[in-house]
Amino acid sequence: MNSPTKRILSSVFGEGGIPLFIYSALWMAGVFALSVFVLGGAFPFAPEARVVLFPSFAAGLLGGIFFPIWGGLASLLALVFLLLIHSGATFVVVTATALPFAGGVVVGSRVSTRSSLAVFAVAGETVRALFASILLSPIAGGDSLALFGGALLSLLHGTGYLFVALYLGEYLFSLMTRPRLSEVCSDGHPLVREMKERAMGTFVHARNVSILAEAAARAIGADFLLARAGGFFHDVGKLWNPTFYGENQRNQPNVHDTVTMDVSRSIIIAHIDEGVRRVRKHRLGKQMEGFVLTHHGDGPVYHFPEEKRKVRDRYPGPVPSTKEEGLVMLADALEAVTRCVSGPLSEEELEEMVRYVIERAKRDGQLRECPLSERELDLVREVFVDCLRNLYHGRVRYRSSDSYGGRKGDAHCVGAEREERKEARYPGHKADDSPDAPESEYH
């Protein structure tokens, strides 16, 4: 299948593709049959009016959560087909059923937590029941109150259908829906707990990357929930050998000094494959796999000094192909660069650092398949500078009477004297008195 076709299908059917669309349609057909033919038999309504028992708003919510908005609206075709089979799809019947369904799709595409989903399901189905009972009362013989009472019963099986179908769909298709994206970044998720217990340095790094990526995604209108989750889980492969990464060494001897460069190389690069394995184990879906695979792209392994780096010392790729993947790559590199800096930075130094990271990614071709425009990259640059200013701000110097343990402030306090350094402040920055300073590497 060629790339344009994949992009079209992805824009309509989302991560789950056609199989998820079939799954959703089968659920809708089953609930339609249960509502109209089974439950409808218990009410003295005309057959055409029994569609009032079908929870179409809840069905629309499910479509809006599972698919991009156009894919959710495309589900209307399946609904209209069911209505054609049942009652010939008269204008009143289609209006009473399809309009709440479309409203559910729009609302579902914006819901980000299960609690808000439950509230919208109950409220939306109540409004739908009133709307449908008024429209369908002439067909049913004019008893709007009886219709409304019957329609309210759809709250029970409609809400149940919504959550059961949602949970099963997330599990069977490893879907990262918006409600699930909100949940996986919480402290209760097993991978987050494992990072905190076994690799606190990686956890702090991942948390900061997620903050940067989410803020940038909000600024350019990308999926900020997806970017936040991608930032959290992009480095889960480091849980395999956490002490081989600088953020987890805690002033201990560098374990890379005890092994050969080939062993170091294999362990560092292996955190990509190990991360994919852990993402699959926890059924976090293809999108999370994408963040793990692309957060270094096919760029160099910066752990090794440039003069010792070999041609094969590059990550396997691929490069980012979505805006969210590109943002996580840039946020990851930028957060790592800040670890090379001692003391607070001025506004100009922050801007120079962010500009360096973005330009290096562009120069190395890491953004060649990423749809981030120059205008969006300018916005990202501004957001990153603002976030770094808040994440790594200086603090007011303590008075001697307020000092802790006899210390009167430190190098991270505003106004403290900063030591003049001859080495690079961060990769790509060369001190004035050391024009040939080597690049300070990180990984």
Of the candidate CATH numbers 1.10.3210, 2.60.40, 3.40.140, 1.10.3470, the domain formed by 185-414 belongs to 1.10.3210
Q: In the chain, where are the structural domains located?
A: 3-172, 185-414
> Which range among 13-27, 61-75, 116-130 has the greatest average pLDDT?
116-130
Q: Which one is predicted more confidently, 60 or 246? A: 60
Percent of the chain residues topping a pLDDT of 90: 43
Single-letter code of the amino acid located at 59: A
Q: Is the pLDDT reported for residue 329 higher than 60? A: yes
Tens digit of each residue's pLDDT (9 = 90 or more) over 198-216: 999 899 999 999 999 999 9
Q: Is the pLDDT reported for residue 9 higher than 80? A: no
Q: Is the pLDDT reported for residue 59 higher than 90? A: yes
pTM (two decimals): 0.82
Give me the DSSP letters along 325-378: HHHHHHHHHHHHHHTT--S---HHHHHHHHHHHHHHHHHTTTTTT----HHHHH
Identify the pLDDT of residue 69.
Answer: 83
Average pLDDT, the chain: 81
What CA–CA distance (Å, rounded) separates 168 from 335?
A: 37
The token pair that represents 41 in the structure block: 């038999």
Q: Summarize the confidence of residues 115-127 as an average pLDDT.
A: 94
Q: Is the pLDDT reported for residue 99 higher than 50? A: yes
Residue owning tokens 């670890």: 339
Minimum mean pLDDT range among 4-13, 46-55, 82-91: 4-13
Tens digit of each residue's pLDDT (9 = 90 or more) over 143-192: 677 788 888 888 888 899 999 999 999 999 989 999 999 999 888 889 99
Chain-centre distance of CA 152, in angstroms? 35
Please give the torsion angle defined by the CA atoms of residues 257, 261, 262 and 265, in that order, rounded to the nearest 10 degrees.
Answer: 90
Q: Summarize the confidence of residues 92-109 as an average pLDDT.
A: 91
What CA–CA distance (Å, rounded) separates 123 from 146?
A: 19
Nearest to residue 51, comparing CAs of 69, 60, 39?
A: 39
Identify the pLDDT of residue 57.
Answer: 95
pLDDT band at residue 134 using 50, 70 and 90 as cut-offs: confident
pLDDT band at residue 247 using 50, 70 and 90 as cut-offs: confident
Q: Summarize the confidence of residues 66-85 as an average pLDDT.
A: 81
